[in-house]
Amino acid sequence: MKKGFDNNKYVKIQSEKIRERFNLFDKLYLEVGGKLFDDSHASRVLPGFLSDSKINMFKELKNDLEIIYCINAGDIEKNKTRGEYGITYDDEMIRLINLSQEKGFSVNSVVITLYNNQISVDKFINKLNRNGIKTYIHRFTKGYPTDVDTIVSDEGYGANPYIETTKPLILVNAPGPGSGKLATCLSQIYHENKRGIKAGYAKFETFPVWNLPLKHPVNLAYEAATADLEDVNMIDPFHLESYNIKAINYNRDIELFPVLKAILNKVGSDVYKSPTDMGVNMVGFCITDESVVEDAAKKEIVRRYFDELNNYKLGIRDKNAYKKVKLLMNELGIDENYLDVVKPALLKSKKENLPVIAIKVNRKIITGKQTELLTPPASVILNAIKYLSKIPDDIDLLSPNILEPMLKLKKELNDGVRLTLPEVLTALSICSTTNPIVEKALSEIPKLNGVDAHATYIVMDGDKRALRKLNINLTCESEYIKNN
C-alpha cells in the first residue's frame, strides 16, 4: 500500500499542539471527537495514518491527563450499536474503559447525559459502579440552547454534579456522536470557574480537515461518513471574518458557536474568535502524497455508499443517507466501479449464478463463490492465501479428517450446511500443526490487511465479523443471499 501520510510527524506535532493549548489554562477540557481508539476511517482515507495514532499520541501526555467518558441515556435505552463492531454503545463504553486502563490511562468516570430515570440506564449505572467505575448523572440543561443566563447558573450547569479531577488535561470522549461531550466540558468549566480555577475548552477532531479545500475528497469522505447525521462541511465564516483565511468546519459547530462563545465568555474562558480556533487538529500538515490520499478518500466514499444502501435495505436508515453519498460521488465524477473489485464480482456471479466475493491482492483480482462446502468469504480467503503462498489450485488445504466431524456437528446443531470463514480459519489452524503447506498459507493472512473486497450479497454474522477482524474493506450489494 502506498502511503500518503506521515504518522510519526503527526504524533509529534499533534502532541505539541495540545500541550501548547493546555498551557494556556490551569486545566483544559479537551473534547475528543471521533474515535480515541481504532480510528479505521482515518487510516483508510489517509494511508499511513495508524488506527491507534490518537491514543499513542496521548501517551506522550499520559502523566498529565485523565479521561471522562460520556454516554447518552437515550442511546442505552434504544440499544444503539456501533456499526463497525456490531456492539451496543453501553458495551462499547466498557470496551473503551478497559482499553484505556490496559494502556495505563487514568479513567476518571462515566457521565450519563440526558438521564430521565430509564430502567435500562439504571441497570447500566449499577454495572459500572459494581466494577469500580464512578458515574455521574446529567439531566437536560435548563435554558439550553438559547437562554445563556440560565444555562450558566446554578439552575443550569450548576445543577450537574461536579466531577473531581486532578490533572491539567481532561479528555472527554464517547462511544459515538450526540453523547453530550461538549455539555460535560462546559458544565465542568462552570464548576471550575466557581472554584477559582482557570479552566478552558478545546476540541480535537480529525475531520473535516480545516486547512484542506472545502471539496477535497478527504473532507467529502467525512460528509459521507456522517450522512445519517446530515453534517455539511462549510467555510467557517467567523474565521474568514477574523483572519481573512478560509478554514473548513461543519454546520453544527458553526451554528452553535455564537452560543458557545457566549457561554465561555460568562465562565471567563472566551479566548476564541471562531469554531476553527477551538480546534487543535494538525492532520492536514502531515499529508505527504496528495494523489494517494485523494484516491483513498474517493474509495472510502464509494464504500460508504454501499454501506448506506445496505443500511436502507436492512431498515436501519432512510433513503436520504445513501442519496446524499451518491451526490458526493457525482460531485467527484466517480461511480460504484471506482472500487476495482465491484465489476469482477458481479460478472463472476452472473456467470456462475451464485453468490460471489471478489478481493484485490497485489493488483490481482481473486474471486470466491459459494460451494456445497463453503460460503463465499471462506472460498475467497482460501483462494487468496493459496495465491499469495503460490500453492496450486488443485491442492486442498483442508484435511477431510478435520472437515468431516465439523460438518457432522453443524448438521446435528442445524447450523447450516456450509463452513463459514471463522470455521475454515479454525480448521486451517488445526491442520497447520501437521501440514507445513497449510502453515505457510496461514502465514500469508496478514498480507490481506487493508485490501478491498466486494460481495454480491449482504454478508452477515460470523463471516462479516471475521472479514472485519482481518481488516478487509468489505462492500456488499444490497441483496439478500437467494438460497439462504
Q: What is the pLDDT of residue 37?
A: 87
What are the backbone dihedrals phi and psi of residue 357, each rounded to the nearest 5 degrees, phi first?
-125, 135
d(CA 422, CA 399): 16
How far from the centroid of its chain's Cα atoms is residue 361's Cα? 24
Q: What is the pLDDT of residue 482?
A: 65
Give yes or no: residues 114 and 39 share one domain: yes
* Boundary of a domain, candidates 251, 268, 286: 286
CATH code of the domain in which 89 resides:
3.10.630.10
Copy the grid coordinates of residue 137. 448523572
Do residues 81 and 340 lie in contact, with contact meaning Cβ atoms separated by under 8 Å? no
d(CA 180, CA 258): 18
CATH code of the domain in which 421 resides:
3.40.140.40
Whether the per-residue pLDDT at 98 is higher than 70: the answer is yes
When the pLDDT of each residue in the chain is averaged and rounded to a whole number, the result is 92
d(CA 238, CA 421): 52
How far are the Cα atoms of 4, 264, 280, 294, 299 from residue 290, in angstroms, in the given order? 7, 37, 22, 6, 14
HSE (side-chain half, CA atoms, 13 Å) at 348: 22
Residue 56, Cβ density class (10 Å: 0-12 exposed, 13-18 middle, ≥19 buried): middle
Q: Which domain holds residue 410?
A: 340-476
> Is 223 among the domain residues?
no
Give yes or no: residues 124 and 254 share one domain: yes
Q: What is the pLDDT of residue 325?
A: 97
Whether the per-residue pLDDT at 85 is higher than 70: the answer is no
Give yes or no: residues 143 and 254 share one domain: yes
> Is 307 among the domain residues?
no
Residue-wise pLDDT for 382-425, tens only, equals 999 999 999 988 888 887 777 888 888 877 777 777 899 999 99
Give yes or no: residues 280 and 399 share one domain: no
What are the backbone dihedrals phi and psi of residue 70, each rounded to the nearest 5 degrees, phi first?
-120, 145
How far are the Cα atoms of 177, 408, 416 from residue 280, in angstroms, in the given order? 19, 58, 51
> Is 293 among the domain residues?
no
The residue to which cell 456490531 is assigned? 86
Q: Which of 3-12, 138-147, 319-328, 413-422 is the least confident region?
A: 413-422
Give yes or no: residues 151 and 262 share one domain: yes
Q: What is the pLDDT of residue 350?
A: 96
Hey, which bits of 416-483 come out as E strands?
A: 452-455, 473-476
Written as one letter, the residue type at 221 is: A
Give yes or no: residues 239 and 372 share one domain: no
What contacts 155, CB < 8 A, 6 or more positions away?
142, 143
Copy the grid coordinates of residue 292. 494517494
Give yes or no: residues 61 and 202 share one domain: yes
How far from the centroid of its chain's Cα atoms is residue 14's Cα? 20
d(CA 433, CA 26): 58
Give yes or no: residues 118 and 235 share one domain: yes
> Is 314 among the domain residues?
no
* Boundary of a domain, candidates 247, 269, 286: 286
> Is 313 among the domain residues?
no
* Boundary of a domain, candidates 286, 311, 326: 286
> Is 397 among the domain residues?
yes
Give yes or no: residues 280 and 361 share one domain: no
pLDDT band, very low/low/confident/very high, at 484 (cuts 50, 70, 90): very low
How big is the chain by its Cα radius of gyration, in Å? 25
Residue-wise pLDDT for 278-294, tens only, equals 999 999 999 999 999 99
What's the helix, strand, coil split of the chain in %, to 5? 50, 15, 35
Q: How many domains does the chain have?
A: 2
> Is 233 among the domain residues?
yes
Give yes or no: residues 147 and 267 share one domain: yes
Residue-wise pLDDT for 344-386, tens only, equals 999 999 999 999 999 999 999 999 999 988 999 999 999 999 9
Give yes or no: residues 280 and 370 share one domain: no
Q: What is the pLDDT of residue 473?
A: 96
Give pTM, 2 decimals.
0.92
Do residues 428 and 398 lie in contact, with contact meaning Cβ atoms separated by under 8 Å? yes
How does 333-343 read in b/e, with b if 16+ C-beta sit within 10 Å?
A: ebebebbebbe
Give yes or no: residues 259 and 344 share one domain: no
> Is 262 among the domain residues?
yes
Mean pLDDT within 56-60 = 86
Between residues 317 and 66, the one the model is more confident about: 66
> How many C-beta atoms surround the C-beta of residue 431 within 10 A?
21
d(CA 186, CA 152): 9
Percent of the chain topping pLDDT 90: 77
d(CA 93, CA 157): 24
